[in-house]
Structure 1
Amino acid sequence: MTIHTPPPYAKARNPKRARYDEETINAILDAGLVGHVGFIADGRPMVIPMAYARSGATIYLHGSSKARIVAMHQQGDPLTMTVTLLDGIVAARSGFHHSMNYRAAIVHGHARIVSDLGEVEEALKLITEHLLPFRWNEVRPMHDKERKGTGVLALEIEAASAKVRQGPPVDEEEDHHLPIWAGVVPIVTGLGTPIGDGKMPGDVPPPPSTHLARKKFA
């Protein structure tokens, strides 16, 4: 199976707090669980949340084969996706200087419909295991009708950037003496204890994938 690899990430611009190195961008993409994908449909800009997975410089997205993003964006159509991780609310001594600590990645590229059955299965495995590591081997094999009913798009990354803000508020120096609390309220993301659906025969414990997924946020 051959997966197309586009040129290295390209710089789009250089705004404040921007990062362009692959290490930073890929770390954000790999830590996120939901990407917000932007595309054009019927002449209108659309953004939808989607599960995804990264393989090198390719982002895999999946949905119903009849879903608008799959049916309307087959080959060569532009797509963009953002992933944002929130780390804290930055409380300043003035409303103007309030902010957020965050890590955000923005990728741009063109869609490629995945038609090779081997790559389709690999993409769906990657997406599943991006949510729950090694989950693919814990579940039954995919039925043919499920595979046919699932559309997979590859977003080949052609340009990417990140924006990162970390640290305390940046207040005006003359405000530092004011008796107003300022600082950072951390935002903590974690996975809770798995809850079964109540339909399992006997006592089936949560599988290893759920424990591995929780470590992602430890």
Structure 2
Amino acid sequence: MASGYKGKTFEDSLTRIVTEIKAGVPSSYIVDTANRFSVYHQILNADVNELKNIKIELKDVYGPIPEPVEVLMLIAEYSRKLAEVDIQTISITRAVSTIKMLSSERVDISERVMTGLNNMGYESALGSEVSNNRDDSAKKIKLFATCTNMTELSFILADLYQSALKSNHDAIREKLKSQHRDELGIKKGELYNENDIAFNYQHIVSF
């Protein structure tokens, strides 16, 4: 099985991750079909903490975890993490990854994410496509990076998450600054004490 999630349709709240790296629970690892499918669905439905417990249980019952199961766990983990930072889908091939993000006039961090990835040493480009919703459009980031094994897949997902997380934090900080300036009646370009927004900001996000 080469594509993530075996083509299964998941909830909109999860990021769809598709990769050419094999992911699944091999019959050579868990022979019994019912148990194999049970473990497969447990992994896909688990949160980050539950994945850790599943990993321990699998080692105890079935022995060392093969790479396809590790990849499945990696996909399950980042399908939740990336959904929290506005990533809709990411399709990863051996040479290029396509990242799809939902954007609108109110919120669009796609350019920040691309810049963050470029600063990490990646080569990327930004594009867009029109949505049926007038207010929303999907921004696509083309990420040019080699992905031929689990280690490279792990780096790409982790770096994308970190870039998107920082972009979200920065967007929130700038929005609070703008709101604070408006409340104080400060015009754009005028100086003011940015420390005044620290308390409000720290109650919204934590680093």
- TM-score interval, smaller chain: under 0.3
Q: TM-score, normalised by structure 2?
A: 0.23
Q: TM-score, normalised by structure 1?
A: 0.22
Structure with the higher strand share, 1 or 2: 1
